[in-house]
Amino acid sequence: MRERMARDSVLKTALLTVASGGVTFLVTNGLDQPQAICIILSILIGGIALMVRFLVDFENRLAAVEQLERDGMADMKQLIGDAFSEISEATALFGLIEASALQTDLVTQLVRNSTQISPDSPPIVYRFVQAKIAEMSAFLKQLAEGGTVTYYGEDRDWLLGLTRTATTSIDAISLAAVDHDLWQSEIGQRYLDAQRRAARDGKRVRRIFVLDTPSMADDPVLRRAYEEQREMMIEVRLLDRRAVPTPLQVQVRDLILFDNILAYETTPTTTDPSQAQVAETRLVLTDSRVKECSQLFRELWEVSRELSRTRS
């Protein structure tokens, strides 16, 4: 296309030169000028037309080259700016990782491993990983903001993970509607083992079994769980609901306090232990809410009793 346009331009220039010279020759010849003068003027006028045409084409080409140079410089500046912006963002992100309380190698390992999942992976794997990363991102954001994180249903990862990483204390209020079958289940056994290890390592582990009726103290399953946990160096007490102070009756709920900093709360679908399931699980980091849970546990611990005293 460009070659054709160049040929057309050369042809037009040649025709313009010949036409200018021809018109000049005819005019001068019509004025009865000498033949030599007619030829010289024709050549002169044709040459001037050629030079003008050449200068116009040169100016147009120069303007086009300058425009290309400006466009090229603008594109180059944009590319360099985008590259530096990405480098700056990556540098800032890495700086945040370095300044984070989390181990840098764990975060970089997460990023490195996530890059191994590509769009060429099976669609179900790709979408599942995307969903888990989004879920983890939202989870970390909520934890960092010190609010409440909700899991709909019964959780196990939070429960076991927090128990294994507690640094000073684990205080639990156990309701029959939530924990009626817990201690014989697989997750209950793992939870107890994690608590046993925590108590063995010198961390304070306490549990209050809330009794809906006094006769529950004679339940052999409860008594076995009570004795087993005491042997694990877990401080265990029983609490008859009738002994709960009236202002605290509506506040009694299934919860676990980790280090008096984080509250793990579960809500049952019903109060009937034989039919109840966990409707939702919450991690609470709001300072006022955690202090309220800690105060509730202390007051309930004071009115609870060991098994021998309950039965007396």
- From residue 179, how far is each of 20, 110, 174, 191, 210 by CA, in Å? 107, 35, 6, 12, 10
Query: Quick check: 206 pLDDT over 60?
Result: yes
Residue 141 CA to residue 89 CA, distance in Å, equals 19
How does pLDDT run across 226-270, given as a tens digit for each residue? Answer: 999 999 999 999 999 888 888 888 888 889 999 999 999 988 776
By DSSP bridging, strand 278-284 and strand 262-268 are: antiparallel
Average pLDDT, whole number, for the chain? Answer: 76
Query: Can you give the pLDDT at residue 273?
Result: 58
Report the CATH superfamily, name and number, of domain 148-311.
Endonuclease Chain A (3.30.870.10)
Over 70: is that where the pLDDT of 96 sits? Answer: no
The domain spans of the chain are 2-78, 148-311
What lies within 8 Å, CB to CB, of 99 at 6+ separation is none
Burial (0-12, 13-18, 19+ Cβ within 10 Å), 142? middle
Convert the pLDDT of each residue in 143-198 to its tens digit.
777 778 887 877 888 899 999 999 999 999 998 766 767 888 888 899 999 999 99
Burial status of residue 172 (CB atoms within 10 A of its CB: 0-12, 13-18, 19 or more): buried
259 torsion bin: left (phi>0), alpha (psi -120 to 50), beta (else): left
Helices (H), 145-285: 157-165, 176-179, 186-200, 220-231
pLDDT of 311 reads: 42
pLDDT digits (tens, 9 = 90+) for 110-121: 677 777 777 677
Question: Is the whole model's pTM more than 0.85, yes or no?
Answer: no
Q: How many CA atoms lie within 13 A of 114 on its CB side?
A: 15
Residue 193, pLDDT score: 94
